[in-house]
């Protein structure tokens, strides 16, 4: 498609501008009030809004509508219904009612629920979300919705996020009122997500069953050149990829998604896209759309997009940096230090709240990104380690140190950077740094949560972060509201918080072995695997936390824990079966055929005079024979592990069995096959190697 900058770049989005043009002023004002106050649409206006939306959508070619939602599968779901209806004497007409706009009732019996409801209780309800705009894709009007069981339990990713945003706003408003804000000023959660992904040639992808089944290569020997020279990072974008990126941007812009930056990432064939900051709820919807659009646009260019966290061994995997901040409804960034952060008491209070929340709830932050795929990349010199810490930068750390010690805070003058070339401008040295090794880094006026996996919905990390910060803000408000001397109590509160939670602050190299040892001395958690982290989700303390703020009830938390453990096991099970299939049908025959060919070569040479040496063939055949025997043993071992996994175990025990027994068996099988790949003639090898895959796009 070609994007026409002269047209409204949100032409496929039912924006406030569109509503203003199509709705009566009274109805339009009511809708805006609902969105700003995060309250349901006025029922008496629902039919008017629905009719205007249907007319607008029909003019753009839409024939159907869908309540678009985000079940616990991690991807989105939709059921299309046409606008067609009978009117009068069975005459066809186009209709869309207010009832259809605000609520849908899918069957939903096959969506994972983690035991929230029995299979015979199939009904689920979908409630339209007025804070996230409707949009058109193809011939369908998409209405973002929340999805819950017939008895009200959340069955999706959106509902807990909306609840957490409401909880944070409630507690944040209490703090703002203490600083003189009006009652109608809300606290908003804003997010900007960076999305990493790989692009490979479609023809190569189709020859890799492991990529098709699991989204990542389960075998593959590293090529001679990977990311060693860092020449791909921010390098010239190849023409074919550039055309894909342009098509991608134009498609996203038409959906109202402000994709802003695009570039090559560090690994060969790896790239990144980032969208402009917006409300956490809308940003979550938009990030899901970005992932879907990446995969939809790629085939138009003969490409396949991979969003798995670790599609290739030996090169960087993909993450999704979740940039998170707080603002007032009037547009003030509450995490903006200003020119003199040491004198900005409100900023220091919100900063202290975040620091305390992260320290108290390290387990929840780690749980928010816990998946089998994420376990492959954390701490592998490409992503932060599993130890949670907060990076603040030198200036803020010095300010907090001064507060802790009771010393005066000196305002720092910005150092002018002189690069030493007259024609280049001088500029102020930045007092912060992104510190790419830090899991949770302050980057000027926001925090960047860098542990999030590339395939994950950002809803999970956001609703957990919102909830733990809301809880601390509530504690702060309780104390400050009772204070006789607000300023004195505020100063004491900030100081006490820094003293109590400074252990979580670390500005150094998170990859260093010394940091692991230091973190242990500080008493920080090191939850290396998903099976270490997930059991902590449903502790009594965590259940009480989420219930207190109405974000998740005990039943909802237990169901999510069960679903995450089940997904962990299923992913590894699919990968193990894929490995065995490839081994049996591809690698074993290839090794046998090539070994026979080498043996025949030896036999033919020996038919001639003794002048023909067979040393090379003998050595090669010996290696093939030894590794072939290992391959046979590795296959048997993995099959035995999977058979043993069928024994009855609870969800946690089964997940741990896969982590501790099945995964090592998979790694052993891979190591043997990868060694064989370096010996077997390419003409015999059944799948394209890493070199062909990573450098397939010209």
Question: Which residue, among 357, 327, 349, has the nearest Cα to 472 in the 3D structure?
Answer: 357
Question: Which residue, among 286, 294, 260, 264, has the nearest Cα to 274 in the 3D structure?
Answer: 260
Q: Reply yes or no on whether the pLDDT at 298 is more than 80.
A: yes
Q: Reply yes or no on whether the pLDDT at 374 is more than 80.
A: yes
Q: Reply yes or no on whether the pLDDT at 104 is more than 70.
A: no
Model confidence band, residue 604 (pLDDT cutoffs 50, 70, 90): confident
CA distances in angstroms from 125 to 83, 195, 406, 466, 651, listed in the order given: 20, 31, 55, 25, 28
CB of 187 within 8 A of CB of 173?
yes
Q: Reply yes or no on whether the pLDDT at 625 is more than 50.
A: yes
The pTM assigned to this predicted structure is: 0.92
Q: How confident is the model over 491-512, as a mean pLDDT?
A: 94
Tally the residues of the chain.
Answer: 698
C-alpha span between 113 and 150 (Å, rounded): 12
Q: Which CATH architecture has domain 568-694?
A: Up-down Bundle (1.20)
Model confidence band, residue 3 (pLDDT cutoffs 50, 70, 90): very low
CA distances in angstroms from 26 to 33, 38, 102, 150, 558, listed in the order given: 11, 18, 19, 33, 44
Q: How confident is the model over 440-454, as a mean pLDDT?
A: 93
C-alpha span between 353 and 337 (Å, rounded): 14
Give residues with Cβ within 8 angstroms of 512, minimum separation 6: none
pLDDT > 90 in the chain, percent = 68
What residues does CATH 3.10.20.70 cover in the chain? Answer: 16-156
C-alpha span between 383 and 470 (Å, rounded): 27
Model confidence band, residue 115 (pLDDT cutoffs 50, 70, 90): low
Q: Reply yes or no on whether the pLDDT at 118 is more than 60.
A: no
CB of 560 within 8 A of CB of 196?
no
Q: Quickly list DSSP for 42-107.
A: PGGGHHHHHHHHHHHHHHTT--EEEEEB-BTTSS-B--EEESEEEETTTEEEE---HHHHHEE---
Model confidence band, residue 147 (pLDDT cutoffs 50, 70, 90): confident
pLDDT score for 421: 54
pLDDT score for 419: 44
What average pLDDT does the structure give for the chain? 89
Question: To which H or E segment does residue 173 belong?
Answer: helix 158-178
Model confidence band, residue 581 (pLDDT cutoffs 50, 70, 90): very high
C-alpha span between 434 and 227 (Å, rounded): 21
Angle value at C-alpha 682, between 678 and 683, nearest 5 degrees: 150
Q: Quickly list DSSP for 546-583.
A: HHHTTS--HHHHHHHHHHHHHHHHHHHHHHHHHHHHHI
Q: How confident is the model over 97-123, as a mean pLDDT?
A: 63
What residues does CATH 1.20.120.1560 cover in the chain? Answer: 568-694
Q: Percent helix, strand and coil across the chain, each rounded to 5?
A: 50, 15, 35
Q: Any idea which fold 16-156 has? A: Ubiquitin-like (UB roll) (3.10.20)
Buried b (16+ CB within 10 A) or exposed e, 287-313: bbbbbebbeebbeebebbbbbbbbbbb
> Radius of gyration over alpha carbons of the chain, in Å?
28
Question: Which residue, among 549, 544, 553, has the nearest Cα to 168 in the 3D structure?
Answer: 549
pLDDT score for 515: 94
CB of 501 within 8 A of CB of 202?
no
pLDDT score for 198: 97
Task: Dig out the tokens for 678 from the structure.
Answer: 């370096």
522-572 tens-digit pLDDT: 999 999 999 999 999 999 999 999 999 999 999 999 999 999 999 999 999
C-alpha span between 218 and 481 (Å, rounded): 57
The dihedral of CA 124, 129, 132, 134: what is its sign? positive
Packing angle, helices 280-297 and 239-254, rounded to 10: 140
Name the least confident of 78-82, 187-191, 445-449.
Answer: 78-82
Give residues with Cβ within 8 angstroms of 395, minimum separation 6: 341, 412, 431, 432
Question: Which residue, among 306, 110, 318, 319, has the nearest Cα to 214 in the 3D structure?
Answer: 306
Name the least confident of 84-93, 626-635, 672-681.
Answer: 84-93
CB of 147 within 8 A of CB of 158?
yes
Q: How many CA atoms lie within 13 A of 481 on its CB side?
A: 13
Task: Dig out the tokens for 367 from the structure.
Answer: 């749980």
Residue in the structure block whose two tokens are 């932050």: 365
pLDDT > 70 in the chain, percent = 89
Rounded to an integer, what is the distance from CA 535 to the centroid of its chain? Answer: 21
pLDDT score for 124: 58
C-alpha span between 461 and 477 (Å, rounded): 24
Of the CATH numbers 3.40.50.300, 3.30.70.3000, 3.30.590.10, 3.40.1260.10, which one belongs to the domain with range 164-412+427-552? 3.30.590.10
DSSP state, residue 129? -
What residues does CATH 3.30.590.10 cover in the chain? Answer: 164-412+427-552
CB of 106 within 8 A of CB of 124?
yes
Model confidence band, residue 427 (pLDDT cutoffs 50, 70, 90): very low
197-254 tens-digit pLDDT: 999 999 999 999 999 999 999 999 998 888 878 778 878 899 999 999 999 999 999 9
Q: How far apart are the first and last CA of the chain?
A: 22
CB of 170 within 8 A of CB of 557?
no
CA distances in angstroms from 659 to 43, 153, 370, 641, listed in the order given: 51, 31, 13, 11
More confident residue, 663 or 408: 663
pLDDT score for 2: 38
DSSP state, residue 504? G
Q: Count CB atoms within 10 A of the CB of residue 516.
A: 16
pLDDT score for 123: 54
CB of 439 within 8 A of CB of 387?
yes
Phi, psi of 325 (to 5 degrees): -150, 170
Q: How confident is the model over 47-70, as a mean pLDDT?
A: 92
Give residues with Cβ within 8 angstroms of 370, minimum separation 6: 527, 530, 533, 534, 564, 568
Model confidence band, residue 5 (pLDDT cutoffs 50, 70, 90): very low
């Amino acid at each position: 498609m070609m994007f026409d900058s002269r047209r409204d770049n949100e032409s496929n989005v039912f924006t406030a501008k569109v509503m203003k043009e199509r709705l009566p002023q009274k109805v339009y004002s009511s809708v805006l009030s609902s969105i700003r106050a995060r309250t349901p649409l006025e029922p008496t206006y629902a039919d008017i809004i629905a009719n205007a939306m249907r007319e607008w959508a029909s003019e753009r070619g839409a024939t159907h509508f869908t309540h678009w939602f985000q079940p616990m599968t991690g991807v989105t779901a939709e059921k299309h219904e046409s606008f067609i209806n009978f009117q009068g004497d069975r005459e066809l007409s186009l209709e869309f009612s207010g009832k259809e706009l605000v609520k849908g009732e899918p069957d939903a019996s096959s969506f994972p629920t983690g035991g929230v409801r029995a299979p015979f209780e199939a009904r689920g309800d979908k409630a339209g979300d007025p804070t996230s705009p409707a949009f058109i894709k193809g011939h369908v009007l998409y209405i973002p919705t929340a999805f819950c069981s017939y008895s009200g339990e959340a069955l999706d990713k959106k509902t807990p996020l909306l609840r957490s945003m409401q909880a944070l706003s409630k507690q944040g408003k209490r703090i703002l009122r203490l600083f003189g804000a009006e009652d109608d000023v809300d606290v908003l959660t804003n997010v900007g997500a960076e999305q990493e992904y790989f692009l490979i040639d479609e023809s190569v992808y189709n020859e890799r069953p492991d990529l098709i089944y699991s989204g990542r290569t389960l075998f593959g020997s590293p090529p001679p050149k990977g990311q060693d020279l860092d020449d791909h990072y921010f390098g010239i974008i190849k023409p074919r990829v550039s055309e894909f990126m342009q098509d991608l941007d134009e498609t996203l812009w038409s959906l109202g998604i402000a994709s802003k930056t695009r570039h090559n990432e560090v690994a060969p064939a790896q790239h990144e896209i980032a969208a402009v900051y917006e409300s956490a709820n809308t940003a979550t919807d938009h990030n899901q759309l970005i992932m879907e659009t990446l995969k939809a646009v790629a085939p138009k260019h003969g490409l396949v997009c991979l969003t798995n966290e670790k599609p290739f061994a030996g090169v960087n995997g993909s993450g999704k940096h979740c940039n998170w901040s707080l603002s007032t409804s009037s547009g003030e960034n509450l995490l903006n230090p200003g020119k003199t952060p040491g004198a900005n008491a409100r900023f220091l209070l919100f900063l202290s709240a975040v620091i305390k929340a992260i320290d108290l709830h390290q387990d929840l932050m780690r749980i928010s990104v816990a998946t089998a795929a994420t376990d492959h990349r954390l701490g592998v010199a490409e992503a932060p380690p599993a130890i949670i810490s907060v990076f603040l930068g030198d200036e803020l750390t010095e300010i907090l140190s001064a507060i802790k010690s009771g010393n005066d805070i000196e305002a720092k003058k910005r150092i002018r950077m002189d690069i030493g070339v007259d024609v280049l401008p001088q500029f102020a040295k930045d007092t912060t740094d992104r510190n790419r090794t830090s899991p949770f880094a302050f980057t000027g006026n926001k925090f960047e949560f860098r542990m999030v996996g590339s395939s994950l919905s950002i809803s999970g990390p956001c609703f957990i972060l919102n909830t733990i910060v809301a809880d601390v803000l509530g504690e702060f408000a309780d104390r400050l509201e009772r204070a006789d001397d607000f300023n004195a109590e505020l100063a004491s509160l900030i100081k006490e918080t820094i003293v109590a939670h400074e252990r979580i602050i670390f500005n150094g190299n998170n990859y260093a072995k010394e940091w692991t040892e230091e973190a242990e001395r500080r008493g920080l958690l090191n939850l290396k695997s998903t099976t270490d982290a997930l059991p902590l989700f449903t502790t009594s303390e965590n259940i009480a936390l989420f219930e207190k703020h109405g974000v998740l009830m005990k039943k909802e938390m237990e169901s999510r824990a069960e679903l995450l453990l089940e997904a962990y096991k299923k992913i590894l099970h699919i990968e193990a079966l894929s490995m065995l299939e490839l081994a049996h049908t591809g690698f074993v025959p290839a090794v046998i055929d090539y070994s026979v060919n080498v043996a025949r070569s030896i036999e033919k040479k020996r038919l001639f005079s003794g002048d023909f040496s067979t040393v090379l063939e003998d050595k090669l055949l010996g290696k093939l024979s030894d590794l072939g025997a290992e391959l046979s043993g590795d296959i048997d071992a993995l099959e035995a592990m999977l058979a043993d996994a069928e024994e009855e175990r609870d969800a946690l025990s089964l997940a741990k069995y896969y982590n501790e027994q099945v995964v090592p068996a998979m790694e052993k099988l891979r190591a043997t096959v990868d060694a064989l790949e370096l010996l077997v003639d390419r003409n015999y090898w059944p799948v394209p190697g890493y070199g062909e895959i990573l450098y397939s796009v010209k």
